[in-house]
Amino acid sequence: MKNLCIAFAALLCSGLAVSNPVSALSANRSVAPQQQTSPAVPDTTIGVILVAPVTMEITDSISAKMKQQQQELVNGWEIFEAAADQNDTIVSVEIVPDQNSLDAIKLGLDDSVLFMEGSAKLSPKAEAILSRVAENLNNFPETDVTIVGYTSTTGTQQVNMDLSMSRAQNVMDYLVAKGVDATRMKAIGKNWQDPVATNATAAGRAMNRRVEIWVTANQQMIDNMQQ
């Protein structure tokens, strides 16, 4: 019996700065960059926002707000944990650094919990889970959201690109239908790029078929903390 579980962890600082599939905040900081373990989306897919230097105090405040939002998101999964069935998918909620070392939230969903195989239509379970996500995002409006769809290597590259984009877009469309402002969200299709497991096995391909939702501090949050 594999219950629906929530895994969340803060990543430690390291000496390397890397790219994330989140809104880039180009700023000079006195804090050490953090190592990010998740696949990177090229910076060219995301708009760059230029901001004034962010102080350690603001960085700490953003971290506290992100951890609060993360905890409320985790609490929202308890209803699904109680009803988990065998072979249910793992839902992960992590605190990770964005491109400029500000804390961000990464929500990971195996796409089997969202879609039927080869389909971009949301399942009833997907709608239930994403309703909780929408409620959380509406409670924390000072954040931006990047939704990234991935596939395995089954099928052609173009088919998988179209499928990954359709899945990411359908997740975004559902969140918009639940009241989340479309202007704070972006959908990206990454097909079989950035695998998290081998595509040589069925189990590995299942892990690579996934949707990630990244939640980052937006300009409004930073501006409010600088006042």
Q: How far is CA 187 from the centre of its chain?
A: 11
Alpha-carbon distance of 182 to 215, in angstroms, equals 14
Least confident of 76-85, 108-117, 174-183, 197-206: 76-85
Alpha-carbon distance of 175 to 16, in angstroms, equals 33
The answer to whether residue 45 scores a pLDDT higher than 50 is no
Residues 6+ apart with CB under 8 A from 144: 22, 23, 184, 185, 186, 215, 216, 217, 218
User: Could you tell me what percent of the chain has a pLDDT over 90?
Assistant: 41
In this prediction, residue 33 carries a pLDDT of 35
User: Are 208 and 164 contacting, i.e. CB atoms less than 8 angstroms apart?
Assistant: no
Average pLDDT across the chain, whole number: 76
Across residues 167-190, what is the average pLDDT? 96
The answer to whether residue 19 scores a pLDDT higher than 60 is no
In this prediction, residue 53 carries a pLDDT of 61
The answer to whether residue 120 scores a pLDDT higher than 50 is yes
Alpha-carbon distance of 186 to 168, in angstroms, equals 9
In this prediction, residue 35 carries a pLDDT of 39
Alpha-carbon distance of 129 to 159, in angstroms, equals 26
pLDDT digits (tens, 9 = 90+) for 65-89: 999 999 998 887 765 554 445 455 5
In this prediction, residue 137 carries a pLDDT of 97
Q: Among 11, 102, 24, which Cα is nearest to 60's?
A: 102
Secondary structure of residue 161 in the 3-state scheme? helix
In this prediction, residue 90 carries a pLDDT of 61
Kindly give the residue spans of alpha helices, DSSP state H, lying in the chain. Answer: 56-75, 78-82, 124-139, 157-177, 202-208, 219-226
Q: pLDDT band for 34, please (50, 70, 90 cuts).
A: very low
86 vs 192, which has greater pLDDT? 192
Alpha-carbon distance of 109 to 92, in angstroms, equals 7
Strands 24-26 and 48-50: parallel
Q: Which residues pair with 93 in a beta bridge?
A: 107
The answer to whether residue 124 scores a pLDDT higher than 70 is yes
Q: pLDDT band for 182, please (50, 70, 90 cuts).
A: very high
In this prediction, residue 80 carries a pLDDT of 55
The answer to whether residue 43 scores a pLDDT higher than 80 is no
Kindly give the residue spans of alpha helices, DSSP state H, lying in 178-218. Answer: 202-208
User: Are 39 and 19 contacting, i.e. CB atoms less than 8 angstroms apart?
Assistant: no
Across residues 156-183, what is the average pLDDT? 95
- What are the φ and ψ backbone dihedral angles of 38, each rounded to 5 degrees? -90, 160
